[in-house]
Structure 1
Amino acid sequence: MMPGMTPHAPSATPQSTSRRIIVTGCDHSYFHLVDELVASIRDHADTPIGVIDCGMTPEQVARLRARGIRTITPHIPDHAPRRAIRNRPSLAINISKLWLDQMLPEFDLIAWLDADTWVQDGGALEQVFAAGEGGALAIVPEIGAKIANLLGVRWICPGWMQIRSFLYKNASRARLPFHIRKRIGAKPLLNAGVFCLHRDATIWPVLRRWQALILPRRGMAFTQDQLCMALAVYIDGQPVTFLDNGHNYLGPWLLDESTGQLANLFFPHPPVGIVHMASQKAMRGGLENTMTIPTVQGGRVALNLRYAGMRQFRRHDGRPENIPPS
């Protein structure tokens, strides 16, 4: 057991008739985000929730358990880099993602939501569960409304370029052979911030086989979950069900003034289902930190994208500030 990680007895969370659970994980510094994630889930569903504890304080654990949230000891396989986890205990969260079927054998359907996500539309959460019912990996590929190059490249000279995608770079760091890097290098990243799997899905042992190969290699603990999922799907042909980007929305950000909700960039701008604040470090750290985003109606508004930030915005009638175009 790593420092700061305490084994927890199962909490008295009532069993769901459908035997499904939503799982996340955090240390003490991300607890405020998990607290908001739990509140956002409870706005829509009474599904059991579990939190992998990678360094929460006793008071934080007690607060979760008082709300019927189970706390879960991370699973750290023998091949995990012990020194890296001692220095950064939260790495055990990403490692544990690939062991959830064994960590939670009493549940049939397991949905994972990163600590920096929150649920805006309960229908999206139901669709995530529905997509995982049949045994396929239910996940969002990063090919949606992001305003960015679909494939990272570095131009060397006219007609020549170097692939710089997430999957190619990480497969290279893991020292995977070129024929594998070639097959996955131009494929979309499968974002492991939101996914769902049935406990009996065939992909679990395949994920762990790749993890056992990749994890001991230096610097791979943080990114190995997404790389393992891509390898299991693109190399081993494990079944996958792609969800649209509204189920794990990373931006670009847009507000619908008529509803006070974050909206999808794609017309007709439906409400975002699950908000993911990856790369939004300042906003994750404090509600006073905002960013200026456009609105469906043509305005501009300063928002903090967290669950608490959006609730605060709506409490003030959801009226956008008069912000001139940049």
Structure 2
Amino acid sequence: MMAAMTPPDSPDTARRIIVTGCDHAYFELVTELIASVRDHTDTPMGVIDCGMDREQLAWLEARGIRVITPHIPDYAPARAVKRRPSLAINICKLWLDRMLPDFDLILWIDADAWVQDGQAIERMFAAAQGGTLAIVPEIGAKIANLLGVRWICPGWMQIRSFLYKNASRARLPFGIRKRIGAKPLLNAGVFCLRRDATIWPVLRRWQALILPRRGMAFTQDQLCIALAVYIDGQPVTFLDNSHNYIGPWLLDSTTGQLANLFFPHAPVGIVHMASQTAMRTALENTMPVPTVTGGEVSLNLRYSGLRRLSASRGAA
């Protein structure tokens, strides 16, 4: 059963928006993200156009989805963006306050994510209401090393974390690399901010320094966010990993929903299929997913994949 929607003209939602971005290849994922959001709320939505075709743009406009022109600052590497237009999406994330002057609260969700529990949307907006950055640190239920390291010899190791590696590529001073290298990554796939939050110009100050440097366009958004929080001390509100869940994957077979690895295995709020290239490409591509009760199912993690599972359960 679809959750009750918040009226579109409610004072609580009239000045907020959910935004994503895509090119032609990711459009199908965006349609699934939109459908998953609409299962829970009528909050306005927008899509940054970084290479969609006319039919795709018409599909969005027919459903009242705002099509947003990307903003590319002068210091962006023009050749890299021309060769790979989707890079504009990561660049634009740090300009949303300028691109969306009609809204007070902006929730970003990557195109390869979708909403399973509508309360996650509400909690993201609530966390950002006071002007802090609402975001999920990657310290949750992950069966992986918390910090990437390379052992050199007993007692000696080299830090290989995302933040340390990317700060090094950006040629930032060792003092900065040292301060952020062991910090958790703040995953920019889902975040929420007020348009008047103090962090926006700080993010762009770092972007102007980092973006022109070779090979930084794809990862600069997450590095800039980390620098603004860990170096400049910009206010942040951390949410648990259910609000930007990237695994390990677990299915509650009684409800047909993806569940958090941590007991009591509550439903995941926002599913983020980071690194799941095969599943993003086609619904026929699946992976074995354990169940809460100890079983296993073959599942595609996309919104449509879970709907297929639900339909098959209903027909059984």
TM-score > 0.5 by shorter chain = yes
Q: Does residue 48 of structure 2 align to residue 84 of structure 1?
A: no
Would you say the 8 A contact 1:257–1:318 is kept in 2? no
Residue 21 (structure 2) aligns with = 25
Q: Does residue 200 of structure 2 align to residue 204 of structure 1?
A: yes
The CA deviation at 1:16 is 6.5
Residue 133 (structure 2) aligns with = 137
Residue 51 (structure 1) aligns with = 47
Residue 5 (structure 1) aligns with = none
Amino acid at match of 1:126: E
Residue 243 (structure 1) aligns with = 239
1:192 equivalent among 171, 188, 213: 188
CA distance in 1, matches of 2:282, 2:242: 24
The CA deviation at 1:318 is 6.9
Would you say the 8 A contact 1:257–1:319 is kept in 2? no
Identical residues among aligned pairs (%): 80
CA distance in 2, matches of 1:92, 1:212: 14
CA distance in 2, matches of 1:282, 1:276: 14
From the superposition, tell whether residues 194 and 296 of structure 1 become closer, same or farther in structure 2 (CA, over 3 Å): same
1:233 equivalent among 209, 229, 233: 229
Amino acid at match of 2:153: C
From the superposition, tell whether residues 15 and 54 of structure 1 become closer, same or farther in structure 2 (CA, over 3 Å): farther
Q: Does residue 272 of structure 2 align to residue 276 of structure 1?
A: yes
5 Å matches for 1:1-326? Answer: 17=11, 18=13, 19-317=15-313
CA distance in 2, matches of 1:319, 1:143: 39
Amino acid at match of 1:271: P
CA distance in 1, matches of 2:138, 2:113: 16
Q: TM-score, normalised by structure 1?
A: 0.93
The CA deviation at 1:267 is 0.1
The CA deviation at 1:201 is 0.3
CA distance in 1, matches of 2:289, 2:156: 36
Number of aligned residue pairs: 307
The CA deviation at 1:15 is 7.0
From the superposition, tell whether residues 290 and 319 of structure 1 become closer, same or farther in structure 2 (CA, over 3 Å): farther
CA distance in 1, matches of 2:70, 2:249: 33
Amino acid at match of 1:218: R
Would you say the 8 A contact 1:80–1:215 is kept in 2? yes
Find runs of 4+ consecutive structure 1 residues off by over 6 angstroms.
none
CA distance in 1, matches of 2:280, 2:309: 16
CA distance in 1, matches of 2:314, 2:173: 53
Amino acid at match of 1:258: T
Amino acid at match of 1:117: A
CA distance in 2, matches of 1:70, 1:81: 27
Residue 4 (structure 1) aligns with = none
1:317 counterpart SS class: helix
| Structure 1 unaligned residues grouped into runs of 5+ | 1-13, 321-326
Superposition RMSD on alpha carbons, in Å? 1.2
CA distance in 2, matches of 1:89, 1:225: 16
CA distance in 1, matches of 2:165, 2:83: 24
CA distance in 2, matches of 1:33, 1:132: 26
The CA deviation at 1:108 is 0.1
CA distance in 2, matches of 1:319, 1:25: 35
**C-alpha distance after superposition, 1:112-147 (max 9, x if no partner):** 000000000001111011001010000000000011
Residue 10 (structure 1) aligns with = none
The CA deviation at 1:162 is 0.2
Residue 324 (structure 1) aligns with = none
Amino acid at match of 1:234: Y
CA distance in 1, matches of 2:250, 2:198: 38
